[in-house]
Structure 1
């Protein structure tokens, strides 16, 4: 009976534990990739927002240049 428990323990360590470890780390890697993809989408959204804001600032500067040519000197 002692040998049976020993054999079961060895089988558990050789078969079950490696499968559990492989599943655990595969899940962590997939989660990390998903987070990275979400981070990339968020950065893309921020880049698009920054580009729109830059375009608006340039438009406002053109309007101010046309309406009040010396506005830049007044800021200094």
Structure 2
């Protein structure tokens, strides 16, 4: 009779409490914290600044060398890269 007094409350009180406790833990873990939101905002600001800098570099390059995109797309046309190296890379792939 003495062990029944402990087992019954453990089943009807302890077990539901334990289940509900971990359910609330899982739900709160799935949300973003304030630190996470600040980190996302900082990363967004950083990416925007990097994009602005890249646009500035592209404008400068376009003013200095109007055909820089074609040269970047086909480095063999510049004569700066050895064609045999490029052929060796194609064979490796």
TM-score (norm 1): 0.62
Structure 1 residues not aligned, in runs of 5+: none
The root-mean-square deviation of aligned C-alpha atoms, in Å, is: 2.6
Partner of residue 69, structure 1 = 66
Distance 1:23 1:33 in 2: 16
Higher helix share: 1
**Aligned residue pair count:** 72
Q: CA deviation at 1:26?
A: 1.3
Q: Secondary structure at the match of 1:33?
A: coil
Distance 1:30 1:16 in 2: 21
TM-score (norm 2): 0.54
Q: What are the superposed Cα offsets for residues 14-70 of structure 1, whole Å, 9 maximum, x if unpaired?
A: 1122112212321232233246x72x5544443333322222111111112222223
- Given candidates 13, 16, 27, the residue that maps to 1:15 is 13
